[in-house]
Structure 1
């Protein structure tokens, strides 16, 4: 196809004025696709505001973004639930009309996260015969997560999955979870992306510097498990330093580390970091550690690999799919004894990892170019049917 396709990125989550980091991995997917297609993003979000609807538009890295803020309905009575659905549909239609004023027509809807935006993808397919694919990243669809889908939500999710033309989970693990929800057999696994202009390879120092980046939610990322293991590690060696950072309650974990007796010269626990700051931290450390109880396909692992960091991670969701003997080690979740053993081993053998090769392989899998081409191939095949 010589003419660029017009792709509607319909996003259940997306960075906005209220939640600036929400679904930033979707934004990165949109930017990856924009290398090959015309991409317009539509996201709606409820807000306590006077106006019934407020539309923000922006051009961001070659992506046309339309965010519709709609006046929030706070009651949950049956009549108000119906009004919420009606208002969401009106917000989607307003945003869609705004996009059509710029691009005239849409070739494919690319739904990002099946719920709650999936209902509008179904509407566009039924009303205008616009096919849609789904990029899926929602941990709630996995079996071993604390979030459980309600009966109505599950039915909406299943209907949307059943009617999608192609399902694009980010991992084999999530694909297996989707197969229990839908009879749809059209799958293509496409991973999350990494901005390889920001996350770049840099020669790492010979120091044993461990890094953990996350949302610092303990029930999810098991920060206390990491710190308990670091305490045990410090009983036999002190030739290491760990940095933990994220947009959670880092003060609590600072106090926890001191309470269990970790020496202050062995750790640093800080708050949220910008994307650029995360990249700099990865370039200045030489071992990435993730010890989650559950996961999907964590962007921080792919970012660490692209910068050339070997990774020590728990087996959760798709993490094991990202790790080979050449770039890291996988341990069971919630098993501090094995984590300690493998952490000791990796600290002793960091020099044996080929960090340049780790970075090269990571770029080949997770770069905007690589992922954008995968989506273009999916779009082209779909439209050729």
Structure 2
């Protein structure tokens, strides 16, 4: 039996009081790893407290750097680097696990060269999947290159992410480890569908960042779909932010009876809404490995997604349908095909795929295998 390791989890994104949904996939990775190893999470939050706080719960220790902007903020960031170096020396940290390379990767570099601590990187930022990266400043790209090239392992969430990161760090070791889903919370929830009597329930859950998620495109697809079929259907849009502009669009298109809006919701409420839907839709222009899609699969739902990010790796003819980004007509036809063929999907197969690929046990074991290769 391998010994329990102490993992220092550096999180560039992490849920906090001001933004409880920020980097929630990072928190889930930490919780998964904590089922096997000791975990300490380090993250920063914009706050006027200007102090470092340490808290403990059932899962792990959390070090929160409360830091304001301006000159004092820069001082607090330097203070955090010193604090983490001292913490590593006193608490026998075995491995540093960096989550989202920038900006916490600066601390990972310091720990490597000052404390001789190897680090791995989990990356899910879609900036590397899109030409946004080339639009970033030279300094940002230079620092990112240093961070990635000094990692003992790079752990992208998808094969496409790995391909993009190899442009930055071509000679590093890579292992694809996806996002994790709580398969107890997002449990198997099959619901029947009879075309002649039932309303088919689509759901879309996102930040509503239209440049990435193209939720307006989904609404236009609904307008097309109602012309394609007399079958009854509805779309529930669950949003983390204001959706008034989308309500106005639905009203202009005269499709308000087909679309409902809700949110923001806590995680258990999201699980409930997915359980009561037939299918989840993402119409993204770019993505990493979207958590909501694997959560829908854990519920046994066939999904519709675009040919970007990690979605082509999980959407097969057995699990759903792929469409081209921005092709609204193709999306409307895919929605119709899913309605017509819904009862041909093996929802238990979809659930089993999610269990084997994205469950807490599966992901924790994959991380632990990497850790034990480098300690």
TM-score greater than 0.5 by the shorter chain: yes
**SS of residue matched to 2:318:** coil
Query: Pick from 178, 187, 191: which aligns with 2:174?
Result: 187
1:227 Cα offset (Å): 0.8
> 1:173: Cα distance to partner?
0.8
The aligned runs of 1:79-90 (5 Å cut-off) are: 85-90=74-79
Q: CA deviation at 1:147?
A: 8.2
Structure 1 unaligned regions, length at least 5: 74-79
Residue of structure 2 equivalent to 1:267 = 259
For these two proteins, the number of residue pairs brought into alignment is: 369
Aligned to 1:311: 303
Deviations 1:313-340 (A, max 9, x none): 1112111111111100111000112112
Whole-Å separation in 2 of the counterparts to 1:100 and 1:350: 56
Instruction: Please tell me whether residue 64 in structure 1 is matched to residue 69 in structure 2.
Output: no
Among candidates 135, 156, 169, match of residue 148 of structure 1: 135
- 1:263: Cα distance to partner? 4.5
Equivalence map 1:275-286=2 (5 Å): 275-286=267-278
Deviation at 1:382, TM superposition (A): 1.1
Aligned position for 1:137: 124
1:288 alignment partner in structure 2: 280
| Structure 2 segments unaligned to the other structure (5+ residues) | none
Q: Indicate conservation of the 8 Å contact 2:236/2:260, yes or no.
A: yes
**In 1, Cα distance between the equivalents of 2:349 and 2:207?**
29
Give, in whole Å, the separation in 2 of the partners of 1:111 and 1:99. 14
| TM-score normalised to structure 2 length | 0.94
* Residue of structure 2 in register with 1:10 after alignment: 10
Alpha-carbon separation, structure 1, partners of 2:172 and 2:88: 31
Partner of 2:32: 32
Structure 1 residues 178-218: Cα deviation after superposition (integer angstroms, max 9, x where no partner): 11112333000000000112110122132411011000122
Choose the corresponding residue for 2:316, options 303, 318, 324: 324
Distance across 2 between alignment mates of 1:374 and 1:111: 16
SS in 2 for 1:204: coil
Q: Does the 8 Å CA contact 1:66/1:99 hold for their aligned counterparts? A: no
TM superposition shift of 1:57: 2.5
**Contact 1:40–1:99 (CA<8 Å) still a contact in 2?**
no
Q: Find 1:376's aligned residue among 349, 368, 371.
A: 368
Q: Is the 8 A contact 1:221 1:291 kept in 2?
A: yes
User: Which stretch has the larger CA shift, 246-255 or 190-199?
Assistant: 246-255
The whole-number CA distance in structure 1 between the counterparts of 2:85 and 2:115 is 12
SS in 2 for 1:244: strand
RMSD (Å) for aligned C-alpha atoms:
1.8
1-structure distance, mates of 2:334, 2:187: 26
**What is the rounded CA distance, in whole Å, between the counterparts of 1:147 and 1:44 in structure 2?**
26
SS of aligned partner of 2:135: coil
> Contact (CA 8 Å) 1:315, 1:330: kept in 2 or not?
yes
2:82 is equivalent to residue 93 of structure 1: yes
So what's the TM-score if we normalise by structure 1? 0.91
Q: CA separation in 2, counterparts of 1:145 and 1:268?
A: 32
Alpha-carbon separation, structure 1, partners of 2:130 and 2:325: 15
- Mapped contact 2:180–2:360 kept (Cα < 8 A): yes
Structure 1 position 96, deviation (Å): 5.3
Contact 2:283/2:325 (CA < 8 Å) preserved in 1? yes
Equivalent in 250, 257, 261 of residue 250 of structure 2: 257
Distance 1:99 1:31, change over 3 A: farther
Cα distance in 2 between the residues matched to 1:147 and 1:25: 25
Change (3 A) 1:100 1:249: same
Q: Confirm whether residue 220 of structure 1 aligns to residue 212 of structure 2.
A: yes
Within 2, Cα distance between the matches of 1:147 and 1:319?
23
Contact 1:311-1:328 at 8 Å conserved across structures? yes
Instruction: Give me the whole-angstrom Cα distance separating, in 2, the residues matched to 1:84 and 1:263.
Output: 46
- 1:367 paired with 2:356, answer no
